[in-house]
Amino acid sequence: MFMVNIPALEQMNQILHILFIFLPFLWALGVLPPPDALFLWAVEQILEFGLGGSPMSTHIRLLIMFIISAGTAVTSYFIPSNVGLVLFMTGLGFLLSLNLSEMGFIFQHSVTRHRVETKSKALPTGSEKHFTWKECLFYIIILILALLESVLLHHFACCSQISKNSPQAIVGYILMILLIILWILREIQSVYIFGIFRNPFYLKDVHTVPLFLEKQARLMKIAVVRRTLLNLVSPFAMIAFLSLDSALQGLHSASVSIGFTRAFRMVWQNTENALLETVIVSAVPLLTSSVDAWWNRSLNTGLRLLLVGIMRDRLIQFISKLQFAVAILLASWTEKKRRKSTTTLCILNMVLSPFVLVFIVLSTLLSSPLLPLFTLPLFLVGFPRPIQSWPGVVGTAACVCADTVYYYQMIPGLTAALQSAMAAGSLGLLLPGSHYLGRFQDRLIWIMILECGYTYCYINIKGLELQETSCHTAEARRVDEVFEGAFAQEEYAKMCSINGHLGNVLTPCTVLPVKLYSDARNVLSGIIDSHANLMEFKGDLVKVLVWILIHYCSRRSSMQEHVHKTESKEKASLIILSTLNTSPQNKSPEDTVSLNSGTLDDWSDDVLGDEPTTKKGNEAKDQLKVLQSINLPLPGSVESQVVGDHSIGKVPENSLYKAVILGYPAIDKGKQENAYIPLMEFSCSHSHLLSLPEEWMSDCLPKSKMREMSLLFPEDWYQFVLRQLECFPSEENVPDVLEEIANDRVLKDFYVHAVMTCYFSLFGVCNMDPTPGHILRVYSGVLPWSVAFDWLTEKPELFQLALKAFRYTLKLMVDKASLGPIEDFKELTNYLEEYESDWYIGSVSDEKWKEAVLQEKPYLFSLGYDPNMGVYTGRVLTLQELLIQVGKLNAEAVRGQWANLSWELLYATNDDEERYSIQAHPLLLRNLTVQAADPPLGYPVYSSKPLHIHLY
């Protein structure tokens, strides 16, 4: 067997044998990466630093972009023409920096929109499509100009000699000026400069959106200048610098292909970092006098930019990790409860500080998190992992609860506000892996940047729990203190004060105006338990019931007008009405019975014949067409086989009426009164438009009870509400029609019956003054038992209307106690119309509450009870544009704590709910950081899918 001794391979063999011995130990410490994490980390690092790309929002996008980018670099090596090479790298560098998947999706939808109309709601609207086409045109123009610039400068202005007066050096000077200007314009957009000094140009003590927008107008003008320089001027200046490089003149090598492919892409992919790298590369020859230095002799400009890019990233990581390690030491030392147990660790870290620095440097070189064991000052190097830190797809898991809907509602407005702030530079340098924390009232919003490109980025937004625990409250209080110290400064405060919370992992950036719900909770003691208010509550409830039922019938008739249209206005409409009313009728009872008996005899004699046999047959037939929902039993049908003790051959009228009321609640035959439901005529031909549904016409209360309760019916309010209706747009004399309807005694008696039965159902058998507990139970939909309980609950639509009336009445009671008594009917109507249009009044646990939040109802109200304090509370949500405070988190502190969370639960299997690593600490924000981790290790109540943000 032929063997060759190669010293390098033998040395590698020895090293690997030693390493294999420690593999189990490394795995136990969590330093050995899983294969999938190691693979994705390697792909991400090569794509970002070797090919000029960016970490991607999903693993699929990462793999696809890596393959395309690697293919671009390989293809550039085989292009023989220098001009063709420059054109290829310029064009592909620009195209790969765009969000091609989003543009392709929009284009595909535009082509096939006539085939997928059902999906149009989830896609951009017409105006957004129009703007997207303008955006595509803008990109095409930019691409053409970039190609022209690169080929013209490379062909006509490129020189092979490097000097301080060469065209490339002149462009380098211009880039230095641009870098300084862009840095200044970005820093004055944020509240702190370098996170240390208060920005004198930033707003002071702003609490309202109009004042904020007014004072921010000047900064927004500066932001427009910055965006122009960043998105248009700087990329073309850097393309000029690269096109003039002498390395592109001769025969190119693999290093030229890799270096310049990355450089031409970085110009667009991450313009600010590319500008810094290019300025450093162009400044080095000016600082070194030796032309034969290794930097100038052995490396081309593309490789120099690549090395500078790696050093820039690792330097930023090193500083962040060092700040995180110092914060861990300070947190352990300043925590009084743990000071005795952590003093030894702090002293050891100081004594062994060189070794601690070695761990920090090693984790920096590997771009892996610095892992503090149990968040104590015991540092390890975490295994390399992608920038997202978690293996799952972003936004697919969250601990959904009742509070999730509030984050769903605010996401569109927050996304728009973030777009403006990111484009202006208010959030600092945008890098994938950056974390931000937003705060408003009891809401905490966690924002992470997933991917960046030319004029776009992808972000993930998480919402943390609203029901604050003690740990959550302690850290949230510190977050409020940090933001108040930055944004609530007085006008006479020092111009350049120092950040008072410099050691914290949170650095305030800016405030964002967002349309969302503010949450106010009030104690209703003295209102809901006031005897005077409860007495008024009963009278108001009858009025609100009348108003709601009349408006319900008005809207119902409008929607069904084409079905229930009458053939002649002069023909009367028939309804079924109980005789349990106290108002006299226009006709005597005998006349009514005679008329109805004749009509029913027509049905019984020849109901299936072609023509009725009586003179009123045709008229009755037309009248019955008006109310098609009224179903009388046919002779010979199952319902009328046996009626009382009579035979089918001759059916007396009282027996037929008994057949009509079959299905009513059971009545004791020994005490049953010989009451029946006659057929009555409306005195107004339009009254049928306001009649209630047939199933609401049945009777369940004794006559004596109905007579007693009908005295509570507000007839003047009933007529006032009818006269205010606007449901007859086709009629010329609307006031006269409404007057006739208001005077229709039959219609009024029917409303008396329906309203008072609902009223009786809401208060139960003991019709006494309501108590606060009774009001809360009925408000929540729990009705007391009564003889009308089944009657109401078996009619879901009427039950919901009655419940709505009860809730409106409670809100009316609260408003009257707060704003004063109601003067007249007009003011009461205004209250109820406002409740109907602008309010949702219900229970927080209702599904309709969530729907109202997502539909952005201006106001929401709910009634509750606090068992700890023993008081009744009212909760009001108000939709308005308010300010969300946003700060930037130390990205390495977040990665380090997430790495410890993963290690502690998966490797050390320490799942104690009260473990030290999740206890609150105001400096590290440990509890909030753990909450923001992806489930199952974390528990955010909301997590969005990757959201696309336009940065222009």
Q: Which residues are 871's β-sheet partners? A: 866
Question: Looking at residue 944, what is its pLDDT?
Answer: 94
Q: What is the band of 195 on the pLDDT scale with cuts at 50, 70, 90?
A: confident
Contacts of 340 (CB under 8 A, 6+ apart): none
For residue 646, the 8-state DSSP code is B
Contacts of 509 (CB under 8 A, 6+ apart): 190, 191, 192, 421, 426, 427, 428, 436, 886, 887, 888
Question: Looking at residue 432, what is its pLDDT?
Answer: 94
pLDDT(414) > 60: yes
Rounded to whole angstroms, the Cα distance separating 340 from 900 reads 22
Question: Looking at residue 315, what is its pLDDT?
Answer: 95
Digit-coded pLDDT (tens) for 889-902 = 999 999 999 999 98
The helix (H) or strand (E) run that includes residue 418 is helix 404-424
Q: What is the band of 838 on the pLDDT scale with cuts at 50, 70, 90?
A: very high
Q: What is the band of 105 on the pLDDT scale with cuts at 50, 70, 90?
A: low
Mean pLDDT of 573-587: 38
Rounded to whole angstroms, the Cα distance separating 575 from 678 reads 9
Digit-coded pLDDT (tens) for 551-560 = 998 887 766 5
Mean pLDDT of 150-156: 87
Residue corresponding to tokens 């952005």: 856
The helix (H) or strand (E) run that includes residue 372 is strand 370-372
Identify residue 773 by its one-letter amino acid code. Answer: G
> Looking at the chain, how many residues does it have?
952
Q: Which residues are 948's β-sheet partners? A: 458
Contacts of 255 (CB under 8 A, 6+ apart): 300, 302, 303
Q: What is the band of 547 on the pLDDT scale with cuts at 50, 70, 90?
A: very high
Rounded to whole angstroms, the Cα distance separating 277 from 267 reads 10
CB 359 within 8 A of CB 324: no
Question: Looking at residue 180, what is its pLDDT?
Answer: 95
Name the percent of the chain lying above pLDDT 70: 78
Mean pLDDT of 38-52: 95
Digit-coded pLDDT (tens) for 462-482 = 999 876 666 777 888 889 999
Question: Looking at residue 525, what is its pLDDT?
Answer: 87
pLDDT(859) > 90: yes
What are the distances in angstroms from CA 405 to CA 400, 402, 817, 936, 941? 9, 7, 31, 21, 9
User: Could you tell me where the DSSP H helices lie in 825-931?
Assistant: 825-838, 847-854, 891-902, 926-931
Contacts of 668 (CB under 8 A, 6+ apart): none
Q: Which residues are 453's β-sheet partners? A: 456
pLDDT(219) > 70: yes
CB 805 within 8 A of CB 546: no
Question: Looking at residue 293, what is its pLDDT?
Answer: 65
Terminal CA-CA length for the chain: 67
Contacts of 491 (CB under 8 A, 6+ apart): 204, 205
Mapping DSSP onto H, E and C, the string for 235-272 reads: HHHHHHHHHCCHHHCCCCCHHHHHHHHHHHHHHHHCHH
Of 49-58, 287-296, 435-444, the least confident: 287-296
| Mean of all residue pLDDT scores within the chain | 80
Digit-coded pLDDT (tens) for 764-806 = 766 667 889 999 999 999 988 888 888 888 899 999 999 999 9
Mean pLDDT of 405-429: 93
Q: Which residue has the higher pLDDT, 30 or 78?
A: 78
Question: Looking at residue 7, what is its pLDDT?
Answer: 82
Mapping DSSP onto H, E and C, the string for 454-477 reads: CCEEEEEEEECCCCCCHHHHHHHH
Out of 223-232, 563-572, 691-700, the most confident range is 223-232
Rounded to whole angstroms, the Cα distance separating 96 from 453 reads 9
Q: 417-444: buried (b, 16+ CB within 10 Å) or exposed (e) per residue?
A: bbbbbbbbbbbbebbbbbbbbbbbebbb
Q: Which residue has the higher pLDDT, 587 or 276?
A: 276
Q: Which residue has the higher pLDDT, 6 or 894?
A: 894
